[in-house]
A = this chain, B = another copy of it.
């Protein structure tokens, strides 16, 4: 009936510009664009916008979708529209510039999300549409949550995971390198510290391989690799500068944010963390889309397994490993997964500068360098060297030689210089030791609470803040013996951390 019908109404085309003056409110909302307008403003009344409405804001040829909140106070006069920082930067207006406000077009790709909810498979073109719309900011938080929940409730199969991975990899910048192999490394997180990346990059580059490593800043952890690296050298390099560093030194450790590899991943991660849903397909797409976009040909994945790590059992690890390797192979990436002990932190210190100090101790060959961090970095670097074509069994020895000879340390200094100049990590103004209440044998260290403690002490914003762990699982400890030291930049932050400890004495547990 619809196809045989035609519009009955006699009309003249109309055009109407509904404009409000832009005002920057200085409100941080991550990527989510938010607009504020007075409830009595004529545009909102006429368009029938209520609070929480999705609206389109247009300035010249730029257009964004935002969520509207209505104001009933004198915070804003009618006639103005207040914008969050993300909305402001994406729209780019001058203060007071006129912005057109209208109803947004329907987000067509959300139909495919509904289809997924009802059990249809996610097709490649649908995944492309969803990812493009998310990148353009057309998805509300409600829609992002619905998409991720649908992919958890109806798990992505192999083909769907490949489709989503490809869509995400294609949605940002793509790097390509004139050499081969191009090495890369990823750690499935959940473990505080474990800052093997700078050591591994230095070793692999010192051995003559190319390893253009991008890393993330902390999202919910006390430090990301980029945060730790930044206490030693600049990391916010653009694509051109990153290329220059890699061409000169073979490797780099830069922040992924400025180079925009698989940027949709960064948008999804916030929602994933908030929901904390296990979502294997999404995790695989998240990891691999970044590596595909980085131009990697050989990828080592460190997968810590432990009851407070992200992967909690060997069974989960095996399933996730298979998916990662299968999907990587579909994109021509030679990958290997190394499952590691995820039951306690690797390295002694947690927090950006504290982790950097662990890294430097290992690279410099200091006598008191954390052995576990050194061993794990060597094992991972060795596995990656072998994956890249070294004869089987020689990788770890080669890594060891690069580290012991000082070549890795020299390479690391050169990389830092090439990234903009090496510097020493800062040291905290306030430290406080925390002691054992009785004697006992340490049986458990709670990674999640330890991370929380470091964050309360100020990490990652306070670069020198964090926690230094003085015992390991199985250690025998005397009463009053120090278990850890809290580092903070201010007395207030130190007090917060100590308050948290008062309520969480089982961050370190003894056998009873």
Contact = CB atoms under 8 A, between A and B. Distances in A.
Interface residues of A, number: 102
Contacts of A490: 46
Contacts of A25: 71, 73, 75
Copies of this chain, count:
2
Interface in A68-96: 69-75, 84-85
A60 interface: no
Interface string A28-46: 1110101010010010011
Question: Among the interface residues A10, A15, A118, A438, which one has the most CB atoms of the partner chain B within 10 A?
Answer: A10
Contacts of A16: 495-496, 499
Contact of A508 (B4, B9, B27): B9
B434 A27 contact: no
A9 B75 contact: no
Nearest to A496: B46
Given A145-B146, A496-B46, A509 B7 contact: yes
Contacts of A437: 7-11
Contacts of A5: 443-444, 506, 509-512
B70 A28 contact: yes
Contact of A274 (B45, B140, B274): B140
A288 to B, nearest CB: 23
Given A4-B511, A9-B508, A145-B145, A493 B455 contact: no
A114 B29 contact: no
A109 to B, nearest CB: 14
A320 interface: no
A100 interface: no
A277 B48 contact: no
Chain A interface helix/strand/loop/mixed: mixed
Contacts of A52: 29-30, 32, 270, 274
Please provide the 10 A-B residue pairs with the shortest distance between their CB atoms, ordered closest to farther. Answer: A26-B73, A7-B505, A5-B509, A7-B506, A10-B437, A153-B153, A145-B145, A14-B499, A149-B149, A9-B505
Interface of A: 1-2, 4-16, 24-30, 32, 34, 36, 39, 42, 45-48, 51-52, 69-75, 84-85, 114, 116-119, 140-146, 148-150, 152-154, 270-271, 274-278, 434-438, 440, 442-444, 455-456, 458, 461, 477, 480, 483, 490, 492-493, 495-496, 498-499, 501-512
Given A5-B506, A42-B492, 8 more contacts: A7-B510, A8-B438, A13-B502, A14-B498, A26-B75, A27-B69, A27-B73, A46-B490
13 contacts: A4-B512, A7-B510, A8-B437, A9-B434, A24-B73, A26-B75, A27-B72, A27-B75, A45-B492, A114-B276, A117-B149, A142-B274, A149-B153
